[in-house]
Amino acid sequence: MSLDPAALVQRYLDTVVSGSAEDVAALYAEDATLEDPVGGGEVHIGRQAIAGFYAMTANAEVSTELLQLRTGGHEAAFAFAITVTMGDTKIRVEPIEVMNFNSAGEITSMKAYWGPSDMKQL
């Protein structure tokens, strides 16, 4: 099977918008790792921990927009915007993410690079 990281990234961004935390976690390999933000001191290991991470925005309205994508082999690096609306609060963050995929197309690692200066209140 030839892997299409571009399609896998778009599926991820779409699932973040329309899927449950479990739906997003299901895109990850069972033993995947997630670090968001990089340098934040916490790495989520395994699909269950990853579902817990995405559950944080379960009650929010989320939209995503792919801004720049670079792929190579089983990897992708991309800049995107995510807008999260919770009640009266609406924030937009523009991370650069790096993803690795296994040959089944599952995400084996995700790292999101961003800091306070990449987040703005709308």
**To the nearest 10°, the Cα dihedral for 108, 45, 27, 69?**
-50
**Which candidate in 4, 12, 23, 118 is catalytic?**
12
**C-alpha closest to that of 65 among 7, 10, 6:** 10
Residues binding a copy of itself (CB under 8 A): 37-40, 68, 70-79, 95-96, 98, 111, 113-115, 118
- Which residue, 6 or 26, is less far from a copy of itself as judged by CB? 6
Residue 108 and residue 74: Cα distance in Å, rounded? Answer: 10
- Which residue, 47 or 111, is less far from a copy of itself as judged by CB? 111
CB 17, min distance to a copy of itself, A: 22
